[in-house]
């Protein structure tokens, strides 16, 4: 079974803090993705990576950066958290680009 894990299920941070969200997959997948999910807006792609050290902007990259130093790990970084970044963050990985497997999500609240 594919297993995608995210470092925290719930996180509360203050405005201006630097926030790291970690994602690890154990299936040797090349592709990894970060989404955010908001009511009424659905899932939106923030960044994705097709290989180690490689990153591509998704539809809403502003305010975020990513790091992929190892194949199994993809980190999402909020350089200076803002209240409008309060959301559910979902990591996904895939062997083929299309068939993506999601982690359990991190519910981030920025106060």
Beta partners for residue 102, in sequence order: 92
The residue from 46, 100, 108, 110 that contacts other proteins (CB under 8 A) is 100
B/e letters for 47-84, b = 16+ CB within 10 Å, e = fewer, are bbbeeeeebeebeeeeebebbbeebbebbbebeebeee
107 interacts with other proteins by CB under 8 A: yes
Nearer Cβ to other proteins (9/79): 9
If one asks whether residue 11 binds other proteins (CB under 8 A), the answer comes out as no
| Site residues (CB under 8 A) for other proteins, limited to 23-62 | 42-43, 45, 58-59
């Amino acid at each position: 079974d594919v297993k995608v894990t995210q470092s925290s299920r719930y996180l509360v941070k203050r405005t201006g803090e630097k926030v790291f969200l970690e994602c690890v997959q154990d299936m040797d997948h090349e592709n990894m993705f970060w989404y955010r999910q908001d009511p009424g807006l659905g899932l939106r792609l923030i960044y994705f990576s097709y290989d180690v050290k490689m990153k591509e902007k998704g539809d809403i990259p502003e305010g975020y950066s990513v790091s992929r130093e190892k194949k199994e790990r993809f980190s999402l970084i909020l350089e200076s958290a803002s209240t409008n970044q309060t959301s559910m963050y979902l990591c996904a990985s895939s062997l083929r680009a299309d068939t993506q497997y999601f982690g359990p999500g991190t519910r981030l609240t920025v106060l």
